[in-house]
Structure formats: C-alpha cells, structure tokens
Structure 1
Amino acid sequence: MQFYLATSFIFPRSLRFRLFALCFATTHLPLLGYIGWGVATGRFAWAEFIVLTLATMAGAAGALLGIGALLNPIHALADALHPAEEKERKRASPTLPEASDIIARLFSGVRRAATATQTQIDALNAAAHEDALTGIANRRGFLAQIDTLPVTRRRGCIAIIDIDHFKQVNDQLGHEAGDRLLADFAARLSSQTRRIDIVGRWGGEEFAIFYQDAIEDEASWSLARIAERMRQEPVGAVHGQPVTFSAGLCAWRGGPVTDAIDMADDALYHAKRSGRDRIQRAARPSASAYG
C-alpha cells in the first residue's frame, strides 16, 4: 500500500496507465543500457534500436494486459458480492483513488475475506467447546476453561454427576423427552452454582462441575441442595418418581486435573453401587503437584 500511494503522482486518475508506465520503465532497462553502450562506444545502430524499442513496448503492453486479466475477476467479484459496500467505499475513501481503482477493490475484498474467515474460525471454535443440546461447555470446553485459569486458581473440588436411571427416561418417555430433561438439568446445575464455578456436560447423561476455591464440605452442601431441589421440583419423573442423580466428589489441590476427575469418577461408581441418589466423596484428595 505504501508503494501504491508513493506512485500515485504517476497518472493519478488511471491505475492502468500507471501500471503501463511502471511496466514500460522496468522493461526498458535493457534498452537504456543499449543506448548507453552505443553512446559510449560510438556503435549505435538505429535499426536495432527501433526493433528493441518495439519489442520492449510489446512486452510492457503484454504484461499490463496480463495483470489486468488477473485482476478483473476480483474486480467483478467485489461488485457482485458487495455492491452497496463498494458504492459506500467510493464515497467515503478519500485516501484511495477513484471508482476504477482495482487495488482499492482488491484491498477491500481481502479485508472482507479476512473478516469472514475470522468469524468462521470463532464460530467453529465455539462449536468445538460447547454442547449443542444443553448450551453449556462440553468435555473439551470444560477442560479448556480450567486450563485458562492461573495455576494458583486451579484448586477446589471436582464433581462428576450422573442422572439416575436415565435409560428408563428414554425407553419410557422417548428420546425427545430425554433431551429436554438433559437440557433442563444442565440449566438447573448452572443456576445453582456460583459464577466462578465451571459446569460442563461430560458426556451422555454425565455432567461435571469444578467448584473453584471450595472445600469438600462446601461442594458437598451445594450438591445436596441441588439434589433436594430435584426431589421437590423435579425436571422429570419416571413411574411417578422424580428423576434423581448420583455424584462423586474429589478435592483438587493442584496437579493434573485428570487425576481429580478419575478419583471423582471412582467415587461416582461407588455412589451408584450404593443405591444411587447420593453424593460420594473420594477416599482422599487429589495430591498437589505444587506443594
């Protein structure tokens, strides 16, 4: 762009003539060299000079036609895709020359393409980290949010939660009812946790909560409160009984979060084996790797 503006004094109202002038100057360097050699040696031949001049002019014209042919599709595409923007740009862009300026159109098209590409990347990134059914983080998004926290904030409690007898919900009420129950349950978890806590769908009917900077008693009380509300205001029922959940809970004092998740998952398994609708703490907290 700096070179473009620096050469604007050459045919400022016509980009094509400016390109021709630049092509003519660069392709005629051999001709200038020949003239200098002829003057220095006294062996100047007019016939050779005329032939060489015509050849270089033809070369410059061919280069200009080639450049124009390459840029014309971009010119036409910009007009077809964004006619309103092109008209507005022509009125509001005093630093770039007039409407026929191909470089201005090219610059505008590249900028729009870059913006559209970034928008698509952002959308794909959001989709990769968000559960489409519930609107909360999926497993990847849950772990990614934890990874973005400072090391000093990566401690608290990890809970892995499983909806009890969810297969019966699908079998008796249908998969659409099951999907609604999952979405309602995710909303219940999100509304009953703090802003600093991270809630995600771990997979299937399993969910995960990271209670940031919380001790086991605080996290256990929060889960118990959610469980009680599930009984009093159920998000679904099977055979007239409210749908409940079981949870495994593990204190995380730093180190790899996957260790705490595995221990919470083991505690969930014991909660299921012990009769469901209960909260089971891990036998020991996840050890700290930071002392």
Structure 2
Amino acid sequence: MLHWFYKAMVPRGWKDTAAKVASFTAVIVALNFLFSRIYFGAWLLPAGYLASSAICVGTPFVVLFFLLVRKQARLQIELSLKSRTDPMTNLPNRRWFMSQVRSALQQDMRGVLILLDADHFKRVNDTYGHQIGDKCLISIAHRLRRSLRTDDIVGRLGGEEFGVYLRDTTVQQARSIIMPMLQPIPYSGGPSFEHLTISVSLGAVQTHHGDDLDTLMRLADDALYAAKRNGRARIEVSTANDDRRPDPEMFRDRQSG
C-alpha cells in the first residue's frame, strides 16, 4: 500500500510537480479557511490572509512533503535494485536470474541455458588470496557483459558459478555468441602478479517453450561437469532435451491470442 502511495506521489517532470504542489497547497488553504470559520465564525476572510497562508504555510509544507516522498521513492528503488543484484559483480543474483529465465521460458519458443564455472578457482584463492579471487570473478562478469546480447539474461548463481540464458537461440548459434568466454580471461593479481588469466568451463542445454527450469538446470549442470572432466576451458552440450520440440503452430496461435 505504501509503495503504491509513494509511486503515485513522486513528481514526474515540472508540469506534474507544479500541479501536485498547487493541488496540495489549495487543500491546505481550504482547511485553514475552514478552521478559521469554525473558530472565528467568519466566512469572509481577507484576501491577504489567504495569500499569506498559501505562501508562508502551504507551499513550504507541500514542497518539503514532496522532497521527502521523492527521497523515499529513490530509497525504495535502490533497495529493490540491491535485492536482485550481486554486490561484487553487479550482475543479477541467483533469485533474479531464475525468475527472469522462468518468465522467458513461457514466452520464447526456444533458447539456450548455459552454466559457467571458473576452472581451478580454489587454486586462485589458495595461491593469491580471496581479494584476488574476487577480482577474478569481476573479470569474468565483465567478459560476460561484453559477450552477450542486450536481450540475453545473465546472473551470478553463487561462488564461481554463473548462469546465462540466450533468448531465441539454437545451440549452433550459441557457440558463436559464447565463443569469447572460451578464451583466457585476464585479471590482475596486484603488483606482484599483474598478468594472470583464468578459463571457464560451460555446460549448455537447448530449451523449448514451457520447459521446467529445474530440469534444465540439472541438465546444464551435468553438461558443465562433463566439460570439467573432458579437459576444462570448453563447452559441452546436453542432448537429453533435444527430443522435446514444441509445435510451432501452437506457439504462433498463443502469441497471436
């Protein structure tokens, strides 16, 4: 309820701000006039009194009110953003990633779900420390942002694992999109170790309209560990979901409806 109130009250542009300030000021002046009538018994009050009431009482109060509302609305937006963002990499967190992919699976006819995991990441932490490990993860996130398209969905799932959903994409197309992720990713280890690199392994699965995300995550995870077993710094694709192909006509009817 409060969220709706703040959203409605936030000024949007100078015209909207002026209209809201004038409306609230008029309400305050009207209430002041009514209370004066009740206590003093006079309906006719001097115009100067009403004008000074609006200028000295109504307008400052209303301006202060809208400043507080605007500040509160910005705070709510900031908290909402923090609740769905991984603070280290600034990528969406696991909860937000999963919710976005679930929504996309109900809209897209096809896509590709990919899980990525940093290779030998424990060795990075053990050798250089967790601070350098954090820089390594930030570099992976940066490479992901540069590699993916605007409509694709990406998130940090936890630890050194990331998730990607490529919308309206086949596995063959996904290979070319994700190719930069198979190249060594540079990161800095400080003055003593300035030129470090890390590789990532990827597991992918073709998705179809209406697929269950939990099942897809399991299949992509199996493919990811196959990539780890087969030498790392590579992509493996699960074929367990390939036989489930939706009827294109059914999807087209649903979109037109």
Asked whether the two chains share a fold, i.e. TM above 0.5, the reply is yes
Distance 2:24 2:174 in 1: 63
Q: How many residue pairs were aligned?
A: 213
Give the 3-state SS of the residue equivalent to 2:166 in structure 1: strand
Equivalent residue letter for 2:112: C
Shift of 1:180: 0.7
1:189 corresponds to which letter in structure 2?
Answer: L
Q: Which residue of 2 aligns with 1:155?
A: 110
Give the structure 2 partner of residue 22 of structure 1. Answer: 38
Say if 2:232 is the partner of 1:246.
no
One-letter code aligned to 2:175? S
State the shift of 1:182 in Å: 0.6
- SS at 2:107's partner residue? helix
- Identify if the C-alpha distance between structure 1 residues 125 and 19 changes in structure 2 by more than 3 Å, giving closer, same or farther: same
The question of 1:259 aligning with 2:253 is answered no
Partner of 1:284: 240
Equivalent residue runs for 1:188-207 within 5 Å: 188-207=143-162
Structure 1 residue 261, shift from structure 2 partner: 2.0
Which structure would you say has the larger Rg? 1
Structure 2: state its 5+ residue gaps. Answer: 1-21, 42-49, 251-257
2 CA distance for matches of 1:148 and 1:96? 55
RMSD: 3.5
Unaligned runs of 5+ in 1: 26-93
Aligned equivalent of 1:271, options 221, 227, 235? 227
**1:278 corresponds to which letter in structure 2?**
R
Q: How many Å separate the matches in 2 of 1:100 and 1:2?
A: 16
Instruction: Spell out, residue by residue over 1:67-111, the C-alpha distance to the aligned partner (whole angstroms, 9 max, x if none).
Output: xxxxxxxxxxxxxxxxxxxxxxxxxxx99944432x444433332
> Partners of 2:40 and 2:98 in 1: how far apart?
61
Could you tell me how far 1:197 is from its partner in structure 2?
1.6
Q: CA deviation at 1:23?
A: 4.5
Q: Deviations over 1:264-287 (max 9, x none)?
A: 112112222333222111132274
User: Secondary structure in 2 aligned to 1:118?
Assistant: helix
Which residue, out of 93, 97, 101, partners 1:146?
Answer: 101
Residue 219, structure 1, aligned to residue 174, structure 2: yes
Aligned counterparts of 2:134 and 2:122: Cα–Cα separation in 1: 12
Residue deviations 1:97-136 (CA, integer Å, cap 9, x gap): 44432x4444333322221221111001111111111122
DSSP-derived class of the 2:91 partner:
coil
Q: Residue by residue, what CA displacement relative to the aligned partner does 1:33-68 show, whole Å, maximum 9, x if unpaired?
A: xxxxxxxxxxxxxxxxxxxxxxxxxxxxxxxxxxxx
- Conserved 8 A contact 2:25-2:62: no
CA distance 1:125–1:243, change in 2 (3 Å) = same
TM-score normalised to structure 1 length: 0.61
The secondary structure found in structure 2 opposite 1:250 is: strand
Matches for 1:53-68 after TM superposition, within 5 Å: none
Structure 1 runs of 4+ with >6 Å offset: 1-4
Tell me the residue number matched to 2:65.
110
Q: Is the 8 A contact 2:24 2:62 kept in 1?
A: no
Q: Looking at both structures, which has the greater relative contact order when contacts are Cα pairs under 8 Å and sequence separation is at least 6?
A: 2
Alpha-carbon distance in structure 1 between the residues aligned to 2:40 and 2:167:
69
SS at match of 1:276: coil
